[in-house]
Amino acid sequence: MPAPAQTLLLFGATGDLSRRMLLPSLFGLDADGLLPKDLCIFATARTETDDAGFRETAKTALEPIMKDRKLDRDVLDRFLARIHYVPADASKPETLQRLGEAVGSRRDQGVAIFLSTAPSLFEPTIAGLEQAGLAGPETRLALEKPLGQDLASSMEINDAVARVFPESRTFRIDHYLGKETVQNLLALRFGNILFEPLWNATAIEHVQITVSETVGLEGRTSYFDDMGSLRDMVQNHMLQLLALVAMEAPAQFTATAIRDEKVKVLRSLRKLDAAKESVIGQYTAGAVGAQPVPGYLDELGKPSGTETFVAVKAHVDNWRWQGVPFYLRTGKRLPSRKSEIVIQFKPVPHSMFEGRGAVLQPNRLVISIQPEENVTLTMMSKVPGLDRDGIRLREVPLQIGMDNAFADVRRRIAYERLLLDLIEGEPTLFVRRDEVEAQWEFIDAIREGWTLNSMSPRNYPAGTWGPAAAIALTERDGVTWND
């Protein structure tokens, strides 16, 4: 691994992601003494302000964490002293000269660059970085989504990046990979002998992946209305989850070995029959958690055919997964916020209890990513008793609650992990170009299917689990969503 970068450039520093996630993450890392001792952070955005002005903005964003973690004022002051602000207009490459001058000779000690800007600014920013001497072999570049709107635009961005930053120095962010329980999937699957022999079409009946949100547009109207749920959530986070669930065992814990296995899965995704295997929805007015909320079109203020809910039945066409459907669904304004993976096992081949009146339920493994982080395996167990009227068996959960099992370890924001890995040059939890492009290929084909079949979103009232057709999508196969 390269030496840790001694300089971090934060583009889009006054933006929402920076204030909500990036600055708090960097602060959290600093408070724990995890940042390189001399790390200097250059924040940049179009806003005309100076070090003092930006530090005020940062302070406001960090105060809640200070309180939460009961940190001393000098921890905050030490962090703020690391930050300098250099205004730049990323759409005008020449304005990045000042940033180059500010970084000066520090560039030789490694520079990590984080682009949290609109993708339309990626190209000019990269040109500006090159002109300012900030693209040399000691620099690495992290890019936030969306990396394009389809395969063609994603390839265009990737080509523009690749002209200046080779793949080994390009770090594409999918913040789901920074989540602890997502990484724990690797531990669960490949750190235990228990599951792997059963982790295939012989023993697994289907897989469900749900990422449900209670929020609506959250002010990101034009971004979301351009993207829709399929491209906002399935193209990246959900396909990454699917890849981690479905991939073969990598031989080593290395960026290449893990990403090689993930991309094989992504390339094995069967082209969907959009009309039969996908459902799209858009929320209308309703209530979430007893709070009345407006419909999507009212929030947006104009007509729109964008989906705020999508469910698909996907297939991984390889030996391991032949005949095992992967049901994916995500949406805004659903009844609860949860991200979870359900592995539904098949029934036992023969039940010896049948003649004694007991009904067996097949085993089910539920991996909850958020808000709770836990892993639950439901198993059949005998109800205590003398069994004079027949044997009674019941499902009981075998549960690992991460909060209890690791009560002494602080749960970190996904971006803490990703920013530290970027600074240290560790690429395993970043998405490689071939993965992103395989993801887009699958997604583009679904969207083509929607157009071909003239599909438009069906309404669902806010606070429900999407349109009725999403329920029918699984019920047809005798499967019920795990609500």
Q: How far is the CB of 339 from ligand BG6 (least distance, A)?
A: 6
- Dig out the tokens for 422 from the structure: 């970027």
Dmax (CA) for the chain in angstroms is 86
Mark 4-38 as b/e (b = at least 16 C-beta within 10 Å): bbbbbbbbbbbbebbbebbbbbbbbbbbeeebbee
| Strands laid side by side in the 325-331 sheet | 393-401, 374-382, 364-370, 338-345, 204-212, 325-331, 309-315, 278-284, 458-461
User: Residues near 314 by Cβ (< 8 Å), separated by ≥ 6?
Assistant: 242, 269, 270, 272, 277, 325, 326, 327, 328, 442
Comparison of 4 and 216: residue with beta carbon closer to ligand BG6:
216
Helix axes 23-31, 414-424, angle to 10 degrees: 70
Work out the angle at residue 218's Cα, subtended by the Cα atoms of residues 217 and 222, and round it to the nearest 5 degrees: 55
84, 175, 206, 237: which one is catalytic?
Answer: 237
- Contacts with ligand BG6, 315-354, as mask; x by CB under 6 A: ------------------------x---------------
- Cβ-based nearer residue to ligand BG6, 55 or 172: 172
What is the CB-side half-sphere exposure of residue 296 using CA atoms within 13 A?
A: 30
- Binding residues for ligand BG6, rule CB under 6 A, total 3
Residues 95-124 close enough to bind ligand BG6 by CB under 6 A: none
Q: Residue with CB nearest ligand BG6?
A: 232
Closer of 232 and 373 to ligand BG6 (Cβ) = 232
Least distance to ligand BG6 from the beta carbon of 348, Å? 36
Q: DSSP state, 371?
A: S
Q: Which parts of 418-457 interact with ligand BG6 (CB under 6 A)?
A: none
237 labelled catalytic: yes
Question: Residue 4 or 295: which CB sits closer to ligand BG6?
Answer: 295
Of 232 and 277, nearer to ligand BG6 (C-beta) is 232
CA distance 327 to 315: 9
Among 130, 138, 205, 232, binds ligand BG6 (CB under 6 A): 232
Query: Cβ closer to ligand BG6: 36 or 335?
Result: 335
d(CA 288, CA 392): 39
The least CB distance from residue 119 to ligand BG6, in Å, is 13
Q: Which residue in 123, 213, 307, 437 binds ligand BG6 (CB under 6 A)?
A: 213
Per CB under 6 A, 205 contacts ligand BG6? no
- As annotated, the active-site residues are 237
Q: For binding to ligand BG6 (CB under 6 A), which residues are involved?
A: 213, 232, 339
